[in-house]
């Protein structure tokens, strides 16, 4: 049976503040697209009918909602929030749940009418790809059966709070224990400044004619939920049928009133010190980065450094900076032009037995975001001028920080650029991303004393560029020739403006 929850990428425009909707039927320009389509067609339908128990009873009305595979590297997903509550009726096209993949948060919508009978995986919890995360029923009579089925699928009751250890034997006279200070939790980092709505919340805002800019979102990262829109419109929201999630017990200490201690009573023993180390589990994004870095260890790599004069590039940057062009775009454009001259550096080896000359030059640029690292991709960077690339780059960075990138916008790179020059870093080595042939690490441009052919000294700005490459397909001479071409373009940057 066709799946009931079908994510769709068609509605993921960054300008309207809407989170991407995933679709296995959408066409991804990355190399992972065939794998995603195979998974969707063969192994991971999001909803499937329960098995038949008897010929006289139709058992296809309760469907399992599955954790979708949102990218080729995704093995598990995290539930950011349930847009709907247990007992809510669903209409075709409504968002049901927000899932965090390894790089982005994506809404999943339903293509069926029904009732969200049971939530199997709660908000903040993770589940493997293909595991059931909820149950969808067609009629109210099936809700009780669906909830019983959800409990039988391994929903263990929440653990009871641990009982406190028995107090130590009191001394000769009891002494009032000092109050335990509550540990203040660090404030959660603020999310994106732009107003982010779920598709259903946007639909309600349009229906009730509510100004979304005036709504304060209560969802993750300030996300505006349907209940926020209903509250702004003066509509009393329906009370959710589900029971509230269990909360962690708070430690509260109060000083007990005791009898005055005799003067000869010994002092109380000091409390044991609180350990300072804290174990923090990986987020979904950190786990994906860790997996990719470990995978890179299996590739034999080598590194080549090259000094590049940047006086002419710095002058060009000052000229085009008022037009919105960034240094990142200038370096990406220069790298793309050099890759066009040396396509082997843009090639890929995935099986260790052959390699592929990529037909497109897609420059992935490392960007640090809250909680991890992501590489938005400037696709076909050699075919567009620096002004169009700058406009596209601004859009990609905005979507990356709002966690709204499509998979094809962060996993389709054929060459990666990592720039730490803005931090004053002289040089560094970058780890080769899986599925690529090379990555360029760019250091800061600094004044350097140089001598010309006639023996005269002068001061020139120079930056050191280090490239890490897959030695199975790229050799030292290949990388040296590429770096020479890159340096020639940077030192004579007129071609960047063509």
Give the residue numbers annotated as catalytic, written as ranges.
471
Specify whether the CB–CB gap between 66 and 131 falls below 8 A. yes
Specify whether the CB–CB gap between 64 and 137 falls below 8 A. no
Q: Measured between alpha carbons, how far is residue 68 from residues 131, 287, 361, 405, 490 in Å?
A: 9, 18, 30, 17, 44
Burial code of 239-251, b = ≥16 C-beta within 10 A, e = fewer?
A: eeebeeeeeeeee
Question: Which residue carries 């979708």 as its tokens?
Answer: 68
Nearest to 374 by CA among 403, 348, 347, 394: 403
455 burial via Cβ count (<10 Å: 0-12, 13-18, 19+): exposed
Specify whether the CB–CB gap between 9 and 21 falls below 8 A. yes
* DSSP characters over 50-104: PPPS-TTS---S-EEEEPP--STT-SEEEEEEESS-TT-EE-TT-EEEEEE-SS-
Specify whether the CB–CB gap between 436 and 414 falls below 8 A. yes
Rg value, the chain, Cα: 29
| 3-state SS, residue 384 | coil
- Alpha-carbon distance 325 to 321, whole Å? 5
Contacts of 417 (CB under 8 A, 6+ apart): 328, 331, 332, 335, 363, 364, 365, 366, 439, 440, 442
Helix (H) or strand (E) holding 128: strand 126-128
**DSSP symbol at 43:** I
User: Torsions phi, psi of 29, nearest 5?
Assistant: -85, 0
> Do the bridges between strand 446-451 and strand 457-470 make them parallel or antiparallel, or are there none, so unpaired?
antiparallel
Provide the strand spans (E) within 330-380: 363-365, 367-369, 372-374, 377-378
């Amino acid at each position: 049976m066709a799946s009931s929850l079908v994510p769709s990428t068609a509605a993921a425009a960054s300008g309207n503040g809407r989170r991407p909707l995933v679709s296995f039927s959408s066409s991804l320009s990355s190399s992972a697209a065939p794998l995603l389509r195979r998974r969707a067609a063969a192994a991971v339908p999001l909803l499937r009918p329960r098995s038949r128990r008897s010929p006289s009873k139709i058992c296809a009305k309760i469907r399992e909602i599955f954790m979708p595979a949102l990218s080729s590297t995704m093995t598990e997903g995290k539930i950011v929030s349930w847009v709907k509550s247990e007992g809510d009726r669903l209409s075709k096209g409504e968002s049901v749940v927000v899932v965090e993949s390894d790089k982005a948060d994506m809404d999943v919508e339903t293509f069926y009418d029904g009732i969200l009978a049971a939530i199997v995986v709660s908000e903040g919890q993770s589940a493997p790809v293909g595991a059931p995360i909820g149950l969808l029923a067609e009629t109210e009579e099936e809700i009780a059966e669906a909830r019983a089925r959800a409990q039988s699928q391994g929903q263990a009751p929440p653990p009871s709070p641990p009982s406190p250890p028995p107090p130590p034997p009191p001394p000769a006279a009891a002494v009032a224990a000092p109050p335990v200070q509550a540990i203040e939790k660090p404030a959660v980092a603020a999310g994106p400044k732009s107003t982010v709505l779920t598709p259903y919340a946007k639909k309600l805002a349009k229906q009730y004619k509510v100004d979304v800019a005036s709504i304060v979102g209560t969802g993750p990262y300030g996300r505006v939920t349907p209940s926020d829109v209903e509250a702004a419109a003066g509509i009393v929201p329906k009370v959710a049928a589900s029971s509230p999630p269990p909360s962690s017990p708070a430690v509260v200490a109060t000083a007990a009133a005791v009898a005055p201690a005799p003067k000869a009573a010994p002092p109380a023993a000091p409390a044991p010190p609180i350990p300072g180390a804290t174990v923090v589990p990986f987020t979904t994004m950190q786990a994906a980065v860790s997996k990719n870095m470990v995978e890179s260890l299996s590739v034999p790599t080598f590194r080549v450094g090259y000094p590049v004069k940047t006086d002419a590039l710095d002058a060009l940057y000052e000229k085009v900076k008022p037009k919105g062009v960034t240094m990142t775009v200038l370096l990406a454009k220069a790298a793309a032009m050099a890759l066009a001259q040396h396509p082997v550096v843009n090639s890929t080896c995935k099986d260790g037995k052959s390699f592929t000359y990529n037909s497109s030059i897609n420059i992935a640029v490392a960007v640090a975001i809250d909680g991890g690292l992501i590489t938005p991709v400037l696709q076909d960077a050699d075919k567009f001028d620096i002004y169009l690339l700058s406009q596209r780059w601004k859009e990609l960075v905005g979507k990356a920080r709002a966690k709204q990138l499509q998979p094809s916008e962060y996993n389709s790179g054929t060459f990666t650029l990592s720039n730490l020059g803005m931090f004053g870093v002289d040089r560094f080595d970058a780890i080769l991303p899986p599925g690529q042939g090379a990555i360029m690490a760019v250091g800061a441009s600094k004044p350097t004393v140089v001598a010309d052919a006639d023996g005269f000294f002068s001061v020139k700005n120079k930056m050191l560029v280090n490239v890490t490459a897959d030695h199975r397909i790229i050799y030292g001479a290949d990388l040296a020739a590429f770096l020479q071409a890159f340096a020639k373009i940077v030192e004579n940057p007129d071609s960047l403006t063509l």
